[in-house]
């Protein structure tokens, strides 16, 4: 990468003004790495614009001077898409306004730097729900969540971020502002350009604001942890839960015995949720618009599931503390692996009906490739998204194990592809997976993406190392 010219740097500093940029290495350092410590980037300049117009001004200068840009939100991405390696870093975290909340439209417009948690709170203050929820929600920003089309735990009921965006304002690669902040549910007047920006990982422009869909606050919620013999039983239970509740399943999270053991061993203040310590767990959350109805529905579902032999144990949360305890053992699944030495991570999805087959095949193949490797699979089985993590055998040679990551991942991903799955369900491709993804995309698909990108960003200044 050619470093930006002194003239370009000077023009950017002048356009953003005092407080709108820094080239102080200490000030930039926290934004050049992320929590898994897989990436450690560098940049000559970090921009922190405070308005859409400032973003547009900066991008226009970059376009004129052919300066590459990496846009960044809350820096919670896991695939390196937000880390510059020589590009100018354009952080949207100072675009902080909640522009409006209109409950009659079930809509609100927030700027890109508002965190996901703050967006949820703004909705709640208007007696509405913004349903997207994920572990990093206190830091992840709306701009980043849109650019990576994030998912999270409530996808089964409310969809991914793409399903929750009504409108987008963005600065295009030539510095023009796309003003698409519509609050409409129906608008068929040409290509839906916002759909291209969602999930584009900052390669087609910089999202500066978005109008988001809101939902009614649900009047009852029931949470249970159940024990099962197998993922097959979980899939059958899921179908039954969806049918019985008419779409009232908000979360359906699968966990495996080994993952639960890691949590209990490595995370303080956790306890075994089911005395029987079953081989598989599912955390189920049901909601209803009717007060009390979710509890009744949960009792019925579990009673039918026991009768049908689908579950072997169950506990319904009796209060918020128990509900929080159930969620904690789910949310700490990833962090609990760290003391075990980390491992090969996979964020994959397959059709729900193929989850059990996938787990069987992948685990057998991993066992053949690296005998003794420990597989901790967990995730949003309600939408087919499995975090399939492979850990070093107990007492094994950890550096040697990590050295086989790429090869091991290819085995897992080839099986995912065989089941018509995705090698990146919710984290995106970023710097980590773009090259690997070429293996699983058709030439027609990659060519189309490249043609669209070249049409909108002819000098490829937007996040050039990410995507095709």
Distance between CA atoms of residues 457 and 175, nearest Å: 10
Tell me which stretch binds a copy of itself (CB under 8 A): 67-75, 259-267, 269-277, 290-298: 290-298
Using the rule CB under 8 A, which residue among 23, 53, 192, 320 binds a copy of itself?
A: 192
Residue 89 Cβ vs a copy of itself, minimum distance, rounded to whole Å: 22
Q: Which phi and psi (to 5°) does residue 75 adopt?
A: 60, 40
Q: Identify residues 80-139 at the interface with a copy of itself (CB under 8 A).
A: 102-107, 127
Q: Which is nearer to a copy of itself, 33 or 422 (by Cβ)?
A: 422
Tell me which stretch binds a copy of itself (CB under 8 A): 69-77, 234-242, 330-338, 393-401: 234-242
Q: Identify residues 373-392 at the interface with a copy of itself (CB under 8 A).
A: 380, 383-385
Using the rule CB under 8 A, which residue among 73, 74, 248, 408 binds a copy of itself?
A: 248
Q: Identify residues 43-62 at the interface with a copy of itself (CB under 8 A).
A: none
Neighbours of 307 (CB within 10 A): 9
308 binds a copy of itself (CB under 8 A): no
Residue 174 Cβ vs a copy of itself, minimum distance, rounded to whole Å: 8
Distance between CA atoms of residues 407 and 420, nearest Å: 20
* Nearest alpha carbon to residue 70 among 61, 78, 62, 81: 81
* Nearest alpha carbon to residue 356 among 313, 408, 419: 419
Residue 11 Cβ vs a copy of itself, minimum distance, rounded to whole Å: 22
The residues, ordered by sequence, that sit 6+ positions from 25 with a Cβ below 8 Å of its Cβ are none
Edge-to-edge order in the sheet of strand 46-47: 21-22, 46-47, 88-91, 69-72
303 binds a copy of itself (CB under 8 A): no
Q: Would you state the structure tokens that stand for residue 109, as one six-digit string?
A: 């417009």
* Nearest alpha carbon to residue 251 among 222, 214, 283, 219: 283
Residue 369 Cβ vs a copy of itself, minimum distance, rounded to whole Å: 24
- Site mask for a copy of itself (CB under 8 A), range 136-155, x = bound: ------------xx-x---x
Q: Which is nearer to a copy of itself, 407 or 445 (by Cβ)?
A: 445
Q: Which phi and psi (to 5°) does residue 419 adopt?
A: -95, 25
Q: Which is nearer to a copy of itself, 409 or 424 (by Cβ)?
A: 424
Q: Which phi and psi (to 5°) does residue 88 adopt?
A: -70, 135
464 binds a copy of itself (CB under 8 A): no
Residue 242 Cβ vs a copy of itself, minimum distance, rounded to whole Å: 5
Distance between CA atoms of residues 28 and 22, nearest Å: 7
Q: Which is nearer to a copy of itself, 367 or 458 (by Cβ)?
A: 458
* Site residue total, a copy of itself (CB under 8 A): 99
Q: Identify residues 169-188 at the interface with a copy of itself (CB under 8 A).
A: 172, 176-188
73 binds a copy of itself (CB under 8 A): no
Residue 63 Cβ vs a copy of itself, minimum distance, rounded to whole Å: 13
Residue 57 Cβ vs a copy of itself, minimum distance, rounded to whole Å: 15
Burial of 309 (0-12, 13-18, 19+ CB in 10 A): exposed
Distance between CA atoms of residues 429 and 78, nearest Å: 9
Using the rule CB under 8 A, which residue among 2, 18, 24, 189 binds a copy of itself?
A: 189
Residue 27 Cβ vs a copy of itself, minimum distance, rounded to whole Å: 31
Residue 128 Cβ vs a copy of itself, minimum distance, rounded to whole Å: 9
292 binds a copy of itself (CB under 8 A): no
Q: Identify residues 418-457 at the interface with a copy of itself (CB under 8 A).
A: 420-429, 433, 437, 440-442, 444-449, 451-456
Q: Which is nearer to a copy of itself, 325 or 352 (by Cβ)?
A: 352
Q: Identify residues 348-377 at the interface with a copy of itself (CB under 8 A).
A: 349-353
Q: Which is nearer to a copy of itself, 4 or 151 (by Cβ)?
A: 151
- Site mask for a copy of itself (CB under 8 A), range 193-232, x = bound: x-xx-xxx---x----------xxxxx-------------
Distance between CA atoms of residues 211 and 105, nearest Å: 11
* Nearest alpha carbon to residue 305 among 233, 252, 253, 354: 233
Residue 429 Cβ vs a copy of itself, minimum distance, rounded to whole Å: 6
Q: Would you state the structure tokens that stand for residue 396, as one six-digit string?
A: 């094994």
Residue 209 Cβ vs a copy of itself, minimum distance, rounded to whole Å: 14
233 binds a copy of itself (CB under 8 A): no
The residues, ordered by sequence, that sit 6+ positions from 52 with a Cβ below 8 Å of its Cβ are 95, 169, 171, 177, 208, 209
Tell me which stretch binds a copy of itself (CB under 8 A): 65-73, 156-164, 335-343, 367-375: 156-164
């Amino acid at each position: 990468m050619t470093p930006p010219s002194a003239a370009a740097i000077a023009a950017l500093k002048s356009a953003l003004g005092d407080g709108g940029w820094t080239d102080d290495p200490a000030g930039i350092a926290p934004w050049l790495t992320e929590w898994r410590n897989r990436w450690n980037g560098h940049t000559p300049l970090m921009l922190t614009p405070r308005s859409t117009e400032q973003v547009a001004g900066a991008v226009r200068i970059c376009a004129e001077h052919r300066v590459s840009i990496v846009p960044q939100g809350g820096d919670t991405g896991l695939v390196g898409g937000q880390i510059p390696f020589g590009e100018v870093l354009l952080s949207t975290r100072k675009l902080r306004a909640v522009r409006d909340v209109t409950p009659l439209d079930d809509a609100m417009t927030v700027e890109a730097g508002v965190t996901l948690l703050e967006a949820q709170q703004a909705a709640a203050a208007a007696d509405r729900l913004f349903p997207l929820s994920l572990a990093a929600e206190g830091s992840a920003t709306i701009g980043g969540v849109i650019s990576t089309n994030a998912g999270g735990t409530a996808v089964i009921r409310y969809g991914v971020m793409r399903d929750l965006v009504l409108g987008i304002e963005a600065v295009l690669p030539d510095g023009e502002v796309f003003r698409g902040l519509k609050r409409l549910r129906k608008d068929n007047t040409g290509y839906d350009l916002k759909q291209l920006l969602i999930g584009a990982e900052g390669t087609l422009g910089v999202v500066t604001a978005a109008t988001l869909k809101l939902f009614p606050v649900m009047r009852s919620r029931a949470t249970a942890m159940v024990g099962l013999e197998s993922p097959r039983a979980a899939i059958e239970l899921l179908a039954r839960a969806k049918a019985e509740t008419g779409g009232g399943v908000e979360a359906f999270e699968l966990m495996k015995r080994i993952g639960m053991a890691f949590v209990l061993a490595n995370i303080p203040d956790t306890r075994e949720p089911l005395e029987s310590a079953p081989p598989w767990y599912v955390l189920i959350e049901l909601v209803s618009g009717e007060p009390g109805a979710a509890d009744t529905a949960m009792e019925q579902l579990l009673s039918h599931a026991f009768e049908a032999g689908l579950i072997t144990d169950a506990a319904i949360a009796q209060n918020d503390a128990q509900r929080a305890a159930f969620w904690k053992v789910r949310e700490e699944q990833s962090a609990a692996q760290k003391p075990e030495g980390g491992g090969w991570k996979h964020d994959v999805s397959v059709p729900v009906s193929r989850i059990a087959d996938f787990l069987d095949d992948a685990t057998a193949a991993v066992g053949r490739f690296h005998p003794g490797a420990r597989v901790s699979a967990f995730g949003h089985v309600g939408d087919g998204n499995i975090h399939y993590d492979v850990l070093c055998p107990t007492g094994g040679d950890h550096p040697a194990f990590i050295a086989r990551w790429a090869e091991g991942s290819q085995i897992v991903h080839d099986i995912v592809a065989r089941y018509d799955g995705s090698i990146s369900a919710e984290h995106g491709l970023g710097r980590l997976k773009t090259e690997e993804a070429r293996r699983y995309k058709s030439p027609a698909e990659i060519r189309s993406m490249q043609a669209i990108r070249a049409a909108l960003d002819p000098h490829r200044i937007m996040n050039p190392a990410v995507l095709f």
